[in-house]
Chains A and B, each alone.
Chain A
Amino acid sequence: MTAHPMLPGTTHDEAAAQLFVRDFKMFLTDALEPGLRAQAEALDPGAGSNARVETVYERLHEDEDFRNWASLRRRSQEMLWDSVSESVQRQAEALEALAAAAPQTGSLTLDPAFVQPDYLETGDVHLMPGGYAHDDGGVLQGAVMDRGGAVYMLGRNGGLMNDVRGHTVVGHLFTQYPDLEPLRILELGCGVGASLLPMAEAFPHAEVHGIDVGAAMLRYTLARARHLGQTVHLSQGSAECAPYPDASFDLVFSSVLLHETSPDAIGRIMAESHRLLRSGGVAIHLEVPNRYDALDLWGKVRGEIEADYNNEPNWKAAISADYRTLLAQAGFAEIAVGYQSATSAPTRDAGGFSDRSEGTFRSWFVASARK
C-alpha cells in the first residue's frame, strides 16, 4: 500500500497488533451490530414517544450484551491508540530526524498564546490521548494521528494515505465550480494534511494554507508535505477565528471538521469562511455521509454511542444542521448541498454530485457556496 515518508513504520508485531485492532473493530461492527439493531427495535417505545432515541439508548444499557459490546468497542479504540502510540514512541528519534532533514519549503507559524476551543478541551476526540492540540515539542502527536487514522478508517479512505476525502473536495470543486482557478487556498482544521495535500497536488500553482489547533500536528504535516515535494503554509489557529485578513482566499474548505466542533461553532465557521473569501470565492465543507433525519432508529442510537463512547459530541448537530440556511445566513449565494462521489483521482469532467448518498465511503456529504 502506498505510504509517504513521514508515516511511522511498524515492526512485525506492531503491524500484526494494528491489523488485529482493525479486524476486531470490523467484527464488533459487522458481526455484533445486527443483533443490537434488532434489540434496539424491540425496545422502541414507538413513534408516540417524544424521546424515542434516548429511551432506547437508556433501555439498552440495562442489557448486559449491550454493555459488553459498548465496552469492547471503547476498548478496541483504546487498543488502537495504545498500539500506535507505542510504535511511534519506539521510532521517535528517527521521525524527528526525518522531519528535520526535509527540504525547507513552505512555512509554519505557531502561536504560543493559542488556546484551543472549549469543545476540544473537554474531551480527546476519538479517544486519542492528548487530543488534537497536544504539543510534544516535535512531530509525534501528528505521527500518532496519521497512523491511527489510517488504521481507524480500515483502509477504506485511500489506504495509508487516507486522502480520498481531499481528492473528493477537489472533485466537487471541478464539478460544481468549474470556472474557479484558485490561487490562494485555505483548509480549516487541516490535521495531518490528508486533505490539504491532495488539494495542493491538484493546484500546483496555488498558494496553499492550512490551520489547525495542534502545534505537533502542524510540524508533522509540514514534514509530510515537504517529503512529498509539496509547498504548504501552516498556521496554528481556530476555524472560528482564522489568523488571516478579510477576503484573503479564493477557496476555503474543510474536511470532516464540523462534527468535531460544537453546534454553535458550525454557524461561526460558515461566517468565518465568508469573511475569509474574496468576492466570487468558494467555500466547500465536506462532512460524514449521513443525515440525521434519514437514519433509522439504530443509526440514531449509534450517534449517541459515538458521542459517549468515542468522544464525538458534535456528531448529531453536524449531521442535523441545515447547511443551506446556515450558508445563506453567512451571506453566501449559489449554495449547493448534497453528496459528492468519493474519488482518489478527480477529473474535471467526472461529475458525481447529486442529492443522493451512495453510502458510507462511496460518497461524502458536501455543503458548498460562492461568495
Chain B
Amino acid sequence: MLAMIAALASELAVTRERLDTVERLAEASGAIDRAAIESFTPDAAQSAERDGIRRRLIARLFGPLRTCQEKQP
C-alpha cells in the first residue's frame, strides 16, 4: 500500500510540474495570464460541471469501499 501511494505521489508530482511548465510557456507566449487562473471564479454551470468531475473521481476511487459494505449480510 505504501509503495502504491509513493508511486502515485511521484506521478502526481510529475504531472504538477508538467502543468506548471505548460502554464509558464503559455504565459510566455501570451496565451494565458497565470494570475487569471488564481482569480478564476467558475459560474454556476461551470461549478456544477466541476462538481460532477470531482464527485465522479471520488466515487471511482472510493467506490470499492461501498461494494465491500454492501456485500455484508
Q: Which of B4-12, B25-33, B60-68 lies at the interface with chain A?
A: B60-68
B58 with A11: CB separation less than 8 A: no
Complex interface bits, B9-49 against A, C-beta within 8 A gives 1, otherwise 0: 00000000000000000000000000001101000000000
Bound-complex Cα distance A313 to B51 (A): 33
CB distance from B8 to the nearest CB of A (A): 15
A36 at the interface (CB under 8 A from B): yes
**Shortest CB distance B68–A (Å):** 5
Which residue from chain B places its CB closest to the CB of A11 in the assembled complex?
B38
A42: Cβ under 8 A from any B Cβ: yes
Give chain B residues whose Cβ lies under 8 Å from the Cβ of A20: 54, 58
Interface flag for A68 (CB, 8 Å): yes
B69: which A residues are within 8 A, CB to CB? 32, 34-36, 39, 65, 69
Q: A31 touching B38 by the CB < 8 A rule?
A: no
B37:A12 contact, CB within 8 angstroms: yes
* Separation of A228 and B69 alpha carbons in the complex (Å): 47
B32 to chain A, nearest CB (A): 13
For the complex, would chain B's binding face be called helix, strand, loop or mixed by DSSP majority? helix
Of the candidates B40, B54, B66, B70, the one whose C-beta lies within 8 Å of that of A19 is B54
Assign chain B's interface to a size class: 10 to 19
Contact of B58 with A24 in the complex, beta carbons under 8 Å: yes
- Whether the Cβ atoms of B54 and A23 lie closer than 8 Å is yes
Q: Is the CB of A12 within 8 A of B59?
A: no
Judged by a CB distance under 8 angstroms, whether A113 is at the interface is no
A27 CB-CB contact with B under 8 Å: yes
- The answer to whether A27 touches B72, judged by C-beta atoms less than 8 angstroms apart, is no
Shortest CB distance B41–A (Å):
9
Distance in angstroms from B2 CB to nearest chain A CB is: 16
For residue A97, CB closer than 8 A to chain B, the reply is no
Q: Mark A32-71, 1 if CB is under 8 A from B, else 0.
A: 1011101100100000000000000000000101001100
Verify A12–B38 contact, CB threshold 8 A.
Answer: yes
- Which of B38, B40, B50 has the largest number of chain A CB atoms within 10 A? B38
Among candidates A12, A26, A63, A68, residue contacting B65 with C-beta atoms closer than 8 Å: A68
Residues of chain A lying within 8 A (CB to CB) of residue B59? 27, 31
Select from chain B the residue with minimum beta-carbon distance to A19.
B54
Rounded to whole Å, the gap between the CB of A240 and the closest CB of chain B is 42
Minimum CB distance partner of B62 in chain A: A27
Contact flags A2-31 to B (C-beta < 8 A → 1, else 0): 000000000110000001100110111001
Query: Taking beta carbons and an 8 Å cutoff, which residues of B are in contact with A?
Result: 37-38, 40, 50-51, 54-55, 58-59, 62-63, 65-66, 68-70, 72-73
The contact sample of 16 A-B pairs, CB cut-off 8 A, is A20-B58, A24-B58, A27-B55, A27-B58, A31-B63, A32-B62, A32-B65, A35-B72, A36-B69, A38-B72, A39-B69, A39-B72, A42-B73, A63-B72, A69-B65, A69-B69
